[in-house]
Amino acid sequence: MFSLSNKSAIITGGGSGIGRAIAELFAHQGAVVHVLELNRSGAEETVKQITAGGGRAHAWSCNVSDQAQVKETVREITKLSGEVNILVNSAGVAHIGKLENTPEADFDRIYQVNVKGVYNTMQGVIVPMLQQGGGVILNVASVASTVGISERFAYSMSKGAVLTMTLSVAKDYIRENIRCNCISPARVHTSFVDGFLKANYPGREEEMFEKLSKTQPIGRMGKPEEIAALALYLCSDEASFVTGCDYPIDGGFLRLNN
């Protein structure tokens, strides 16, 4: 079950965190993985890990907010692999701030990557998927898509857009055998979290990590590998009846917090 044998998968943000975990798992399950990263060295490190384990992967330097660059990269991937069967949009940036202290430049940066980046990559793959008779798109949203989270104004805006773009694409292309879903993680322990704590709470990293972990009713942060497992299901043929859905993976954050 859950084989991706000989399928071609594009993973944006696959150089670290959740994106890397998804890329590694997909390759393990037989996919030819194309890792898109602004930072090429991160993509190459993921590819190195995959190929060392016998998998197949390619690294691509690509700024997802640049539509022309995205389309050219997708064209090159299509030439190399023949088809684009799966797109996972994991690339994203974070921002902390309320409306009053969110500068226009920060708002635009979040929009360019988290919203326009998803739009660009989906638009880049939609024609190849139509031509080949189908495909799967999976977007990484957030619990912030549907609930208010303190001091996450711009980030919440962007993830709300990811959720609604997902629903629109799912409806528009359901007859063309293109499925589109999203997943909404709560806090996941990645290197970003560690860097955030070190920069903002020097000397209190352990204390704040424990505090943030407990905001999930389950009592801990998620693991990138747990998010990847859900992504694998949704991109596999076993999920062929699933489209237009948002899947929270949040340790009870949405429903069990009082």
Tell me the two tokens of residue 222.
């998620």
Give which of 108, 110, 92, 112 is closest to 36, Cα–Cα: 92
**What's the Cα-to-Cα distance from 6 to each of 29, 122, 130, 253, rounded to whole Å?**
9, 21, 19, 36
Q: Is 169 exposed, middle or buried (0-12, 13-18, 19+ CB in 10 A)?
A: buried
Annotation marks residue 247 as catalytic: no
* Run of H or E including 249: strand 246-249
Contact 151, 106 (CB under 8 A): no
Q: Which residues contact 235 (CB under 8 A, 6 or more apart)?
A: 4, 9, 26, 86, 88, 136, 138
**8-state DSSP, 15:** T
Q: Which of 155, 201, 233, 247 is catalytic?
A: 155
- Residues designated as active site: 155
